Amino acid sequence: MVSAGSLGGVNDLYRRILRLRAIRDFQPDQLSDDDLAAILEAARWTGSSKNQQEWAFVVVQDREQKERLCRAGHYTKPIHNAPTAIAIVEEPAGNEFDSGRLAQNIMLAADAVGVASCPITLHHRDVAAEVLGLGEGQRCRYAVALGYAAPGAGPRRIGGRKPLDELVHRERY
């Protein structure tokens, strides 16, 4: 298989895609305005089904509001640890596939400007909807925790991946 290193200098993009990992521990410093703006701009430009952009981004930085949002999921410690969370709201006509594309773009754009991130599942949609003040038909099932990585913060040790020969099929499964 191709190793990222074999692709030469032009492929900083490719290398960083391969290297992206969720980080769960952050420095207390808030994101700079420029870094947050860059991340939101990349979010905005994410592609979506029929370019419908049926989403909204709620930037949560208030400590108490973050704690309330933490109650919407089972494994939300990274939101507690992070200075910023972006809650991904699906408008009524939105879908989770597009939310996933969005989250990946947010994480990669964050990485590009030196910001670490972790996607978070909000299992209790009713709690998330109440905390975020969502209306009829709007849903928030996912958020991304964002901050500058704490010294020594790294991905979990269980971070390996299945080999390609388990994952790839030709023509039919």
- By beta-carbon proximity to a copy of itself, the closer residue of 27 and 104 is 104
User: Taking a C-beta distance cutoff of 8 angstroms, is the pair 15, 4 a contact?
Assistant: yes
- By beta-carbon proximity to a copy of itself, the closer residue of 93 and 97 is 97
Q: How far is the CB of 168 from a copy of itself (least distance, A)?
A: 5
- Name residue 132's amino acid: L
Question: How far is Cα 48 from Cα 36, in angstroms, rounded to an integer?
Answer: 21
76 CB-near residues (< 8 Å, 6+ apart):
69, 70, 120, 122
Question: How far is Cα 40 from Cα 125, in angstroms, rounded to an integer?
Answer: 23
Beta strand pairing call for 116-121 and 139-147: antiparallel
- By beta-carbon proximity to a copy of itself, the closer residue of 26 and 55 is 55
- By beta-carbon proximity to a copy of itself, the closer residue of 8 and 151 is 8
Q: How far is the CB of 118 from a copy of itself (least distance, A)?
A: 9
Q: How far is the CB of 80 from a copy of itself (least distance, A)?
A: 16
Question: How far is Cα 106 from Cα 46, in angstroms, rounded to an integer?
Answer: 9
User: Taking a C-beta distance cutoff of 8 angstroms, is the pair 81, 24 a contact?
Assistant: yes
Q: How far is the CB of 61 from a copy of itself (least distance, A)?
A: 7
- By beta-carbon proximity to a copy of itself, the closer residue of 27 and 57 is 57
Q: How far is the CB of 105 from a copy of itself (least distance, A)?
A: 6
User: Taking a C-beta distance cutoff of 8 angstroms, is the pair 69, 58 a contact?
Assistant: no
